[in-house]
Amino acid sequence: MTSEHDTPLDPTRQLAALRQRIDNIDAALIYMLAERFRCTADVGALKASFQLPACDPAREKEQLTRLRTLANDAGLDEDFTKKFFTFLVGEVIANHKVIASKTRQKSSSSKIAGE
């Protein structure tokens, strides 16, 4: 005999299962964002070593267009995608500026030490 809490229509179990799926997706997002920021740190270091600007508006525009298409195909709100991407790029650019500043400081220190 099953209790009323064990029925397939039990909202408590359904809610718990859905929340577990959300938790798993959240964990995957965090790890993917961490990997993305490791990669963009490498981009920032490369840009800094060649004294390239921290931001690349043409690249950002291309990316946003591509991501909006992906969002549309995936059924994700395009405005949300733009807001999220804009936030993400802002963080990346800020990190690139920090990397560039540290690279300049190292370069200045090396030049002074070599004098």
| Residue 3 belongs to a domain | no
Domain of residue 88, CATH code? 1.20.59.10
pTM of the model: 0.81
Q: Which of 111, 115, 113, 96 is nearest to 51 (CA)?
A: 96
Q: What is the DSSP letter of 64?
A: H
Specify whether the CB–CB gap between 77 and 67 falls below 8 A.
Answer: no
pLDDT tens per residue, range 56-88? 999 999 999 999 999 999 999 999 999 999 999
| Residue 28 belongs to a domain | yes
Residue range of the domain that includes 13: 9-114
**Can you list the residues of the chain whose pLDDT is less than 70?**
1-8, 111-115
Please state the separation of Cα 13 from the chain's center in Å: 32
Res 1: pLDDT: 47
